[in-house]
Each structure stands twice: as structure tokens, then as C-alpha cells.
Chains A and B, each alone.
Chain A
Amino acid sequence: MEQPDAIIHQPLRLKIMAALKGLPRGERLEFMRLRAILNATEGNLGAHLGTLETAGYIKVEKDFNGKKPRTRVSLTDAGTHAYAEYVVFLRAILDDEGSPAPIGVATHAD
């Protein structure tokens, strides 16, 4: 079996991808709303968004809503594909539940 995507494998990043996947294609989610959905701290969420953006999985857009700064995040096509692949990977683990050893996952720096 192939190794899973190390970027998405990190739990909070996986949850970020899931939250964005819950939107219709092309829709954006505000940072504060995303933070509320995931119950994450601002700094932690910001760092993981940076990693996902660098990987090309999400698009981060910053602008002003009136005088208030606003950050909005959306899933890219590459991110959609990577997330779908990761879900297939997770399901495959359950399908292979009878196999003797758990599936190995590549170590990565968070």
C-alpha cells in the first residue's frame, strides 16, 4: 500500500481539510469561523494553514471587511485531490483490518 500524504496526516491539518471539503467547490471559510469549527488556537491554526498553503492544498486570501482585516481560506483542486486520496487511504486501513501489521506512515516534521 502507498504511504499516506504526510502533509495531511497531521490531525489538525486533516481537520482543516475536512472543514474546507464541507463547503461547495470554490467557497471560502473565514479564519475565525474555521477556528470555531475546529476549536483550535489562533497560533496553531495559522501555522498549519501556512503548511497547507505552501503545499498548494489551500488558498489563503487576506483583505479588509470594512476596517477589519479578514482572512479567508479555500481548498484548491490539488487539495481536494489530496484529501480524497487520504480518505481512501484511511478506508483501506479499515478494509485491511484483518492484516497482521498496522499500516506504516512516513514520519514528517509538523
Chain B
Amino acid sequence: MTLSPNEAADALRDIAAIETRSHRLYGYRQGSSHLILWGVLWAIGYGLTEPWPQQGRAIWSALVAIGLVGGFVIVLRSHARVANRTGAKPRIYWRFPAIALTGFAFIFAGIAVMGPVSGRQIGAFIPLVVAAGYAVMGFWLGLRFTIAGAVLAALTLAGFFLLPTHFSPWMAVVGGGTLILSGFWLRRA
């Protein structure tokens, strides 16, 4: 049996494509839990701020805290599972908190600079930033993230401009629902 240069080149191309696909599917699976978590929190947050707009700050503060802790737990559990199996040393998980901190710093700085803004504007601005984040992530991690971000941005804008009086319920159902469905879509990839 022999292996020609053409066969070697084909084999290298094949395995590079398979490695990329496997890595992308792994990224989808890792990202899916975060999308589902935040989808549920968005549904609760927008759902509660509709009847109790005065409590919006308290509601969202609590939900964001839950989301950050929940996201950190997802990352920790994933790393701990691998570390247990491989006997690897525990790592310092700085990326997730750093990304979260950067994102929230940018969002609050943006709101402060543009203020005064209404609750509806804040309620649209944050999902648009999140959608942009997913869209950009998709350039590295796979098209599905980009599609999820684009759909989320389009639906947020549609609700903001076309349904101004029903924006919160729209975002609770459609915004939260988009994140949840996107999470399951990534998981099924």
C-alpha cells in the first residue's frame, strides 16, 4: 500500500475540516446552556417589568446577578468535569468574569453617555449589544451564533419600532424565546 502526495493532501484537508467541525459543534454545545439560561431570565425580567415597571431596577439587578453566577457555574462545572477526568490542575477561570465585566461596563457606560433614556430604550439597547456580541462570536465559533444574534437584533428592533406599547411583553416572549430556541438549536447541531 502506498500513499501519494495527492492522497496525503486530501487526508490533511479532510482531517482539518473534521477537526474544525468537531470544534464548532463543541462550541455550540458549550454556548447553548448560556443562551437558554439568559433566555429564561429575559422572559422573567421583561415579563415582570411590564406589570411592575417601578421595580425594574431591582428585578433586573437580581436577574443579572443570577445570570452571572449561573453562567460562572456552567463554566466551572464544565472545567471541573474535564479536570477530574484528566487529573489536570485547577485553572484560574478569568475569561468568563472578564467578558461579563467588560460587557456590563460597556453597556452601563453607553447608557450613561446617551442618557437620559427611557426604560424601553434601555430594554432595547442591551439586547442589541448582546445580539452584536453573538453575531461577532459567530465569526470565530460558527455561523449559528451569528444567525442567532442577527435574529435577536431584528426582532428587538421590530418590537421597539412597531410595538412600542407592548415592547416588554414582546421581549419577554420573542426575545427570551429567541435565546431559548437558539440554545436548543445550537445543542442539536
Seen from chain A, the residues whose Cβ lies within 8 Å of a Cβ on chain B are 4, 11, 14-15, 17-27, 29, 33, 37-38, 74, 87, 90-91, 93-94, 96-97, 102-107
Contacts and interface: CB of A to CB of B under 8 A. Distances in A.
B82 A18 contact: no
Given A24-B26, A102-B5, A94 B82 contact: no
Interface in B10-67: 11-12, 14-16, 18-23, 25-26
A26 B19 CA distance: 15
B3 A27 contact: no
A3 to B, nearest CB: 11
Interface size classification for chain B? 20 to 34
B1 A105 contact: yes
Given A90-B11, A90-B12, A102-B2, A26 B18 contact: no
Given A15-B18, A94-B9, A23 B26 contact: yes
Nearest to A30: B29
B88 interface: yes
B85 A26 contact: yes
A20 B22 contact: yes
